[in-house]
Amino acid sequence: MYPIKFKPILKERLWGGTKLKTLFNKPIESDITGESWEVSGVPGDISVVANGQYEGKSLQELIDLYPNELLGKHVHKRFGHDFPILIKFIDAREDLSIQVHPNDKLAKERHNSFGKTEMWYVLHADAGAELIVGFNKTVTKEEYQQHLNSGTLTDILNYEKVKDGDTFFINTGKVHAIGKGIIIAEIQQTSDITYRVYDFNRRDKNGNLRELHTELALDAIDYEKKDDFKVAYTKDSNTVNKVVNCPYFITNLLPLTASYEKQLSQDDSFHIYMCVKGEGIIGDGTTELPIKQGETVLFPASCHQLEVKTKGMDLLEVYI
């Protein structure tokens, strides 16, 4: 197998904009495009190969044909033929709804799905842009409901000002929202289970309020104030900088200013490379692909080498 690019799966969102096109050249046709799903195994939204001999085949077809070669033996053993990670770029022209994701146990019971642990890497933030992450004090379920019902939920939420390069780890149960003027790379478990708890009383294009999931969210929320979300990491050039290491994915930052090589076989996993800055050439010693900011390449587990040619490029590396 060879390094694979997929066709982006573009999602209209009430809060989306046009920066996925103006900055990343995504083929969007709508002025409210909020998400580009770069690598997806979500049923109904399976990624399709855009390059090479597998062009036109779906990610699921490749997993079914070559499970160990694509996923890696230990990943295949753990997840079967399910691709375990969903990779996105997100353009928030407006604030997203305030939401929470269930853990694996709750998601399995209610939806026969994985939970949704995720991380955000900020590619761009307008001056003064903010995220909502968790509570600004520990509250009870009853206090939370009182604030929700009285329209004062934002009084107990924690706001974080952000800048380019900031990284946040959003574990399940943490109330959160991406604020307007932020573009992020999002890495998450394969799941589309989101409980929307507050949406600023916005209406969709048909004038309807969007569905809320306030009752489902009650048992999913962690009501304790925790400062466990902002990720501190090094940014040393031309080497691997560890960013997140959790049971669902490992993410590293590779800030490259020159040619770079890395052995991959020891991980026994696919590797995903998201270009979050600059541009260059990426390959496995046999196949080379151009990559620039806003693009993503999947290296199947059978690709044992990463080779990069660049004068300046930051890559996020993701694997299991």
Residues whose CB falls within 8 Å of the CB of residue 300, separated by 6 or more in sequence, listed in order: 1, 2, 3, 4, 62, 66, 69, 70, 71, 270
Q: Same domain for 298 and 186?
A: no
Q: What is the CATH number of the domain that holds 55?
A: 2.60.120.10
Known active-site residue 202: no
With respect to residue 282, please indicate whether it lies within any of the assigned structural domains. Answer: yes
Q: Same domain for 248 and 224?
A: no
Q: Same domain for 207 and 227?
A: yes
What is the predicted pLDDT for the residue at 174? 95
Among residues 190, 212, 204, the alpha carbon closest in space to that of 45 is found at 190
Q: Same domain for 294 and 189?
A: no
Please check whether residue 272 is in contact with residue 78, taking contact to mean a CB–CB distance below 8 angstroms.
no
Taking only the tens place, the pLDDT of each residue in 297-316 is: 999 999 999 999 999 999 99
Residue 142 annotated as binding? no
Q: Same domain for 227 and 251?
A: no
Q: Which residue has the tokens 């770079």?
A: 260
With respect to residue 236, please indicate whether it lies within any of the assigned structural domains. Answer: no
Q: Same domain for 217 and 283?
A: no
With respect to residue 279, please indicate whether it lies within any of the assigned structural domains. Answer: yes
Apex CA 40: angle with CA 38 and CA 44, to 5°? 125
Tell which of 176, 200, 231 closes a domain.
231
Apex CA 9: angle with CA 3 and CA 15, to 5°? 135
Taking only the tens place, the pLDDT of each residue in 174-216 is: 999 999 999 999 999 988 788 999 888 888 778 888 888 889 9
With respect to residue 276, please indicate whether it lies within any of the assigned structural domains. Answer: yes
- Out of 93, 196, 202, 210, the active site residue is 196
With respect to residue 275, please indicate whether it lies within any of the assigned structural domains. Answer: yes
Domain count, the chain: 2
Residue 74 annotated as binding? no
Its pTM surpasses 0.85: yes
Residue 101 annotated as binding? yes
pLDDT mean values, one per 10 residues, the chain (320 residues): 98 95 94 97 96 98 98 96 96 94 88 88 96 96 94 94 95 94 95 87 81 89 93 96 95 97 96 98 96 98 97 98
Residue range(s) defining the domain that contains residue 268: 241-319
